Amino acid sequence: MPPTGRFAPSPSGPLHFGSLVAAVASYCHARSQQGRWLLRIEDVDTPRVVAGAADQIQRDLEAFGFAWDGPVLYQSDQFEQYRHYLDRLLDQGDCYACECSRRGLREQGVRSGPLGQIYPGNCRHRQLAPEGRSIRLNTADARLIGFSDQVYGGFELNLSEAVGDFVLRRVDGIYAYHLAVVVDDELQGVDEIVRGADLLENTCLHLLLQRKLDFASPRYLHVPLVNNAQGVKLSKQSGAAAIDHERAPQLLLAALRHLGQSADDAMLQAKPEEILNRAVAEWNTEAIPARLAAIAETFGS
Ligand code: GLU
């Protein structure tokens, strides 16, 4: 069965070169296996959404030659689904309500790990009512969760020690990215996830959630991040420039080179669609470098 892949940007600003790399990789990986490629706008964290960014992202993708299958899914239309699966976890006894604040935990000297504060489970057995409180997943029995990444190989994390009980719904009622992404990938039939290497650790959380919800786990392929000249990951927060439509061929070729793919400068005159078609035909996952990040030759500015 051909796989279903997806690109899932957060609309907190326009696409930058780092997000273009994730789009190119997920597109080529799905299309090279005759698979579907979906577009999902990850606007679950509504206060962080920038007005107009979701439309801009779609215009950017079109200008760069991408065509996605089916309608665009907006996470802001999915809250009923997230509530349904969160209720299931609560009913199963996998989740609990918590009234600890981040500041309170800091004052208690709670340690931090790769994904922030490691919640020690203070409220785990208090049986607080969920309304108006954050909801956490009990990771006490999670321990080592691992997977085999198609680029980075074996990767594992001791969830109960390195992450602790993580939040699935914040106290302000916003569902966590971890819950949203796991539910959406399941409901959309996504079985081939390609995304930036900054999410390697997060994948272990997603595997645990999939297990608790009885979902099949997709295959994962993470790609090296793009750093700017100062060695900082390109992101909207680090002020990465929006990708310039006028330079689409050059930026697509640079993204392919960052992914270790062949990218012939003779294609500089080609249409973006042609560059992507060629990249799909020549896509080689074994050539993707297994380093976590690299400075790319261009940042799109
Ligand atoms: N929305 C996430 C981001 O923009 C990507 C999540 C994913 O691909 O799973 O970083």
Residue 92 CA to ligand 1 center (angstroms) comes to: 28
Atom number, ligand 1, closest to the C-alpha of residue 26? 8
Its sign, for the CA torsion 67, 24, 225, 185, is: positive
Residue 235 CA to ligand 1 center (angstroms) comes to: 12
Q: Residue 294: which pLDDT band, with cuts at 50, 70 and 90?
A: confident
Residue 125 CA to ligand 1 center (angstroms) comes to: 33
Q: So what's the pLDDT on residue 235?
A: 82
Does the Cβ of 49 fall within 6 Å of ligand 1?
no
For 107-134, the DSSP string reads HTT--EETTEE-B--TTTTT---STTSE
Does the Cβ of 26 fall within 6 Å of ligand 1?
no
Does the Cβ of 235 fall within 6 Å of ligand 1?
no
Structure confidence by residue, pLDDT tens digits, 57-105: 999 999 999 999 999 999 999 999 999 999 999 999 999 999 999 999 9
Say what angle helices 17-31 and 248-258 make with each other, to 10 degrees: 70
Is the CB of residue 73 less than 8 Å from the CB of residue 40? Answer: yes
In the predicted model, what is the mean pLDDT of the chain? 94
Domain 4-77+190-197+218-295 and domain 79-177, same fold? Reply is: yes
Q: Domain extents for the chain? A: 4-77+190-197+218-295, 79-177
Residue 53 CA to ligand 1 center (angstroms) comes to: 15
Atom number, ligand 1, closest to the C-alpha of residue 198? 10
Atom number, ligand 1, closest to the C-alpha of residue 202? 9
Is the CB of residue 163 less than 8 Å from the CB of residue 196? Answer: no
Does the Cβ of 8 fall within 6 Å of ligand 1?
yes
When pLDDT is averaged across residues 267-285 and rounded to a whole number, the result is 97
Structure confidence by residue, pLDDT tens digits, 12-30: 988 999 999 999 999 999 9
Q: Which of 7, 19, 48, 199 to mutate to test the pocket of ligand 1 (most atoms within 8 A of CB)?
A: 199
Q: Which residues lie below 8 Å from residue 243, measured CB to CB, with a gap of 6+?
A: 14, 15, 16, 17, 20, 60, 64, 251, 300
Does the Cβ of 181 fall within 6 Å of ligand 1?
yes
Distance CA 157, CA 152 (A): 14
For 47, the 3-state DSSP assignment is helix
Residue 129 CA to ligand 1 center (angstroms) comes to: 31
Does the Cβ of 184 fall within 6 Å of ligand 1?
no
Does the Cβ of 38 fall within 6 Å of ligand 1?
no
Q: What is the pTM of this model?
A: 0.95
Q: Residue 225: which pLDDT band, with cuts at 50, 70 and 90?
A: very high
Does the Cβ of 11 fall within 6 Å of ligand 1?
no
The CB density around residue 96, as the number of other CB atoms within 10 Å, is 22
What class is the 79-177 domain? alpha beta
Residue 296 CA to ligand 1 center (angstroms) comes to: 20
Atom number, ligand 1, closest to the C-alpha of residue 195? 8
Superfamily of domain 4-77+190-197+218-295: HUPs (3.40.50.620)
Structure confidence by residue, pLDDT tens digits, 171-195: 999 999 999 999 999 999 999 999 9
Buried b (16+ CB within 10 A) or exposed e, 15-53: bbbbbbbbbbbbbbbbbbeebbbbbbbbbbbeeebeeeb
Residue 195 CA to ligand 1 center (angstroms) comes to: 7
Structure confidence by residue, pLDDT tens digits, 98-141: 999 999 999 999 999 888 999 989 999 999 999 999 999 999 98
Could you give the residue ranges of the DSSP H alpha helices within the chain? Answer: 17-31, 53-63, 79-92, 102-107, 159-162, 177-187, 200-212, 248-258, 272-282
Distance CA 168, CA 96 (A): 10
